[in-house]
Structure 1
């Protein structure tokens, strides 16, 4: 029996349309799904604990070699809703920003926006655990990603959507995560993998209903905020982001 391909997936709602088919189509018998938050998945790919992962694009330059597989990703052409800077003050009054420990791409995106788009002088602090969300007050803000960001949207006066701000600054969509491997995978496998990703995108209504939590309109989230096709515009946005230094 051939060894299963270990596939790292993100434990956030945004991945549900992509993994829907991986859990239902015949490819499920060829893979082992391993779930973690983005920064942890990046480490697993670097250490060889997974063979293929939906990893933050910020990890790609750290890999000795890499392959971006298939035609799907976690991306946005405007506001993504679940990756944002939360604050009680407008951007020009912020003095300190806590950075989400679960993120890599989002943290680098924030750093880029601070330097090139907002052009503000702030102290950046790496958060260690969930308690950092409690520090958002006065002139202290924080980056929050994933389902936790959706839940926090009603709680703060100012929300700066990082994907939306990138689009304003560059005119390009943003890619947060892509299916990356460190070894070349067979074309047959990638074809079936793509088909499984596409299958989920054909069942958005069912997925939104299944995971509905009353916090955010998931049909809007899956079909409007998120954009899953790794088209040429997204590849252009990804190329620009990967050329930056952080």
Structure 2
């Protein structure tokens, strides 16, 4: 069985994974994954459906027990999922403070909502929020915990294109301010290239490719290096200019 090792936060580790294996019955989903995420590093994890992306994220979050290997996650972890997962019978501010252990949780929630531009919606019911507002609330709930590792499981995939651009910019702003290590699971190659320092491609339960993204921010989709990295990642994912290989 895998060992999850909490400990003292070090200067160079937000998460460390060695030889991680995950089986579901007789099916092996992860095959000996090795991964390091540094504090303040933004990592994107791509792969086809069923490649094991969310399984790896859930293992890092402590939501699934791995079969073999070692996970070291020294500090606080927070997760934002594809669905905001707000409790519908609690108002937005109460969702942010849910389970929060701080001396002044109400003030912490107010500060977090101000950061994501939702101060005026603090007393709203979750079902009255737009999709973009609900994801802002989800981010506020994650960041109010001041995580050392922020796990994002396709949180932008259900948003319309314009809202997604706004939330991308917000995530970069908040990441720049709080500097957690980030692992973003996504199917969107452009999203990975716009946000991350490093892109990993997961295939058949293994990390098949790693690309450093050293473009200055804000990034432009028409930049020649962006286009070259995009083509590289798409090819790794089996997508050709004519379609899927």
TM-score of the two chains, using structure 1 as the length reference: 0.25
TM-score of the two chains, using structure 2 as the length reference: 0.25
